[in-house]
Amino acid sequence: MSHYDFATTFRQIYEQALSRFGSGARAADSIVSPEEEAFLTANGITAQHMYDYAEDHHGYGGEPGLERALAIEVVRRDYFLNVQRGVASRTLLDESTLPEKTSSLRGIEWLPRIIPKAIAKLRGELPPSLMYCCGGDRKFLKQHDIFPAEFLTLVWRHENDEAAIAEWVVRRSGKK
């Protein structure tokens, strides 16, 4: 595996996933080749993540897009290689424990939901039924003018301090 060429290889896999989805691939295990999956796994990324990007790309006008996907996965990769030391978590977030989509924190709807999703994304603990930077996440991030990878790094810095995350989002969004 070449660390130096990570972005180039990721882009190639991403584009192949888009093409395969466009040709009818409708499962995570059919969106990447075994070699591509080995590369992704070595970097803390799953075929499901690529499937989610491809599915949303085709269903939501190109969103989230290569640039956002790459930035998100660079943060995930960094966490995987340097915090988790290349060892995947065996835990998955229980989707039923997430706050409701209408829940709010400091008057900001969706914030209580996206925080545990972002933590699970960092740790590689998202179940196949959830995507970080899904349509709901993108709506929240756009509304508060937050780059998706920027939110991940914020959550990484304050992984155990929800109040600090909320305060940052309040300041960013200009809410009182």
Question: Which residues are within 8 A (CB) of 55 and not within 5 positions of it... i.e. 6 or more apart?
Answer: 21
pTM, rounded to two decimals:
0.96
Task: With cut-offs at 50, 70 and 90, classify the pLDDT of residue 176.
Answer: low
* Cβ atoms < 10 Å from Cβ of 79: 19
pLDDT digits (tens, 9 = 90+) for 55-95: 999 999 999 999 999 999 999 999 999 999 999 999 999 99
Per-residue pLDDT tens over the stretch 122-139: 999 999 999 999 999 999
Tell me the C-alpha distance between 71 and 135, whole Å.
17
